[in-house]
Amino acid sequence: MGGLLVLLKNEGISQAASVLAGESWIPTPLMPAKVIGNRLGIDLWFKREDLTPVGSFKLRGAIVTMSNLRHTVPAKGVYVASSGNYGLAIAFAGQRHSVPVTVFLPDKSVSSKMEGIDLCGALIVQHGEDFDAAKDFARESAARDGAVFWEDGSIEEMALGAGTIGTELVDDVESWDYVIVPLGNGSLAKGVSTVVTECCPDTRVIGVVSSAAPAMYHAILGEGLDESTPTDTLADGLAIRVPISGIVEELKTLLSDVWMVEESALLPAVRSLMDLEQLMAEPSSASLMVAIVDHARELAGKKVAAVITGAHLPVSLLPRIAVSEGLI
């Protein structure tokens, strides 16, 4: 990272960058998507957060969180709820600092993420049909057991860690027309947009959700939503049923727009990324491919960065992907 960091108003992101500065995988690659970009007439680049040691961007925030807060953790340790990537990242960081971690996951979770969590020495508790049910149970269990509950989206350090992605983007390129990110609980979108909107105010920062998990879309646009409506998306990182109100209010002022993509297009998008860019992305990341194709006319001739957030593609989806047709 260059000298830009000293100019940031957000000292927390500068501090997060200092914590991460010694990591061998920092900065993550910024790679041109030549085939897709050529077909769509877009100067398209992928920020490869799938290439971190745990295969997702969450490791940035987890390392910063554990570095800053580990001395406040009680003997029972840290309880977190996750669809997989956040839990894996906190487990990795907890193992590094000998902090006990318990990860609460929905009943249906990606096996590779669960195995990674187990290998990091964390305990796994499966509970509930979706992420928000697991989160409620984790919060209750932490209060009962005397552990501390770290909620992704509420822990500021998670967004600060994600903000370092933004610093790398604006250090690498003088100006982007668009920066596009998957929109889950909001820590990624908050961190990246905080940096990009400060340093490049003309850049449009877009969040992407699936039509099968539209709660964040409706919340940020100020539309009504039924928090009891179940999510039914392959993009587990986007499977938010109950938005966190505080981060929603922040994102209303930080994001330029939120784009919703059809759930049915996610596997064709995974196929396109494999075929055209030799990139294996989980469905949450592939949502960006759908959004780019949907908005190709708007993006034509523009310089666009898309953050590939994770690489945990369930093997069980491969037969369906094999028979899918690509998007372009």
Task: Provide the CATH number for the domain around residue 279.
Answer: 3.40.50.1100
Q: Do residues 176 and 236 both lie within one domain? A: yes
> Could you tell me the pTM of the whole model?
0.93
Query: CA 210, 214, 217: angle at the middle one, nearest 5?
Result: 100
pLDDT in tens, 25-77: 999 999 999 999 999 999 999 999 999 999 999 999 999 999 999 999 999 99
71 and 52 in a common domain:
no
Structure-derived torsion over alpha carbons of residues 62, 65, 69, 75, reported in degrees to the nearest 10: -20
Are 107 and 180 members of one domain?
no
Q: Which residues of 286-307 are buried (b: 16+ CB within 10 A; e: fewer)?
A: bbbbbbbbbbeeebeeebbbbb
3-state DSSP assignment of residue 70: helix
**Average pLDDT over the chain, rounded to an integer:** 94
pLDDT of res. 234: 95
Number of domains in the chain: 2
Regarding whether 119 and 26 lie in a shared domain, the answer is no
Residues 112 and 84 in one domain: yes
Contact criterion met (CB below 8 Å) for 326 and 274: no
Whether 199 is covered by a domain: the verdict is yes
Residue 327 lies in a domain: no
Residue 214 lies in a domain: yes
Residues 257 and 197 in one domain: yes
Tell me the residue range of the domain where 126 lies.
Answer: 58-149
**Do 206 and 291 have their domain in common?**
yes
pLDDT digits (tens, 9 = 90+) for 290-312: 999 999 999 999 999 999 999 98
Residue written as token pair 């979706």 = 130
Q: Tens digit of pLDDT per residue, the chain (328 long)? A: 444 444 566 789 999 999 999 999 999 999 999 999 999 999 999 999 999 999 999 999 999 999 999 999 999 999 999 988 999 999 999 999 999 999 999 988 878 888 999 999 999 999 988 888 999 999 999 999 999 999 998 999 999 999 999 999 999 877 899 999 999 999 999 999 999 999 999 999 999 999 999 999 999 999 987 888 888 899 999 999 999 999 999 999 999 999 999 999 999 999 999 999 999 999 999 999 999 999 999 999 999 999 999 998 988 999 999 999 999 9
Residue 328 lies in a domain: no
**How many angstroms separate the Cα of 280 from the Cα of each of 53, 71, 159, 283, 313?**
15, 37, 25, 10, 7
Cα dihedral angle (60, 188, 299, 293), rounded to 10 degrees? Answer: 90
Shared-domain flag, residues 74 and 185: no
DSSP-based three-state secondary structure for 131: helix
> Does residue 42 sit in the same domain as residue 20?
yes
**Alpha carbon 274 to chain centroid distance?**
20
